Amino acid sequence: MMRLAEIGFEAPARLLARYGLTLQRVDVGTPIPGSFWGDEEAGIIGNTVYARDDTPVHSLLHEAGHLIVLPPERRSQVHTDATDSIAEEDATCYLQIVLADELPGVGRKRLMADMDAWGYTFRLGSAQAWFGEDAANARHWLVEHGLLDSHGHPVFN
């Protein structure tokens, strides 16, 4: 499982800033504010994503993805749990995979392996199978909402 300590906070902070989000580093041993899963998992409150050195990169990208897929006016209302929408959850999973390519040393292949190791569940049995064969609705949603271009590349604010 790739952790933030392996890639540092600088590149993820720059990536999140492109969406108007802030990455807040939390001291090791301190509970992460806004963490849905607890332990070392990233948290979200408003426009801020909280993480520690031991936070998995997939967790950071997933929680950031939740904020990215929301319209900016809804972000300020978020605390810990971003959505109950299946479409937004699918879009978040798809976007976190795409955004992994924007972080040096990560990439989508590594991120999908970590998603599987963590326990994400997909109908086809793996993140890679879902992404390649069953995620057209998520991709379409992201394109329709201006977060991916027609080639599947991220569109930044």
pLDDT in tens, 22-42: 999 999 999 999 998 889 999
Provide the whole-model pTM: 0.95
Q: Residue 8: what residue type?
A: G
- Check if the beta carbon of residue 91 is closer than 8 Å to that of residue 82: no
Comparison of pLDDT for 72 and 92, the residue scoring more = 92
Nearest to 152 by CA among 133, 128, 136: 136
**What is the model's pLDDT at position 30?**
96
Q: Residue 3: what residue type?
A: R
Query: Within 10 Å of residue 137's Cβ, how many Cβ atoms?
Result: 13
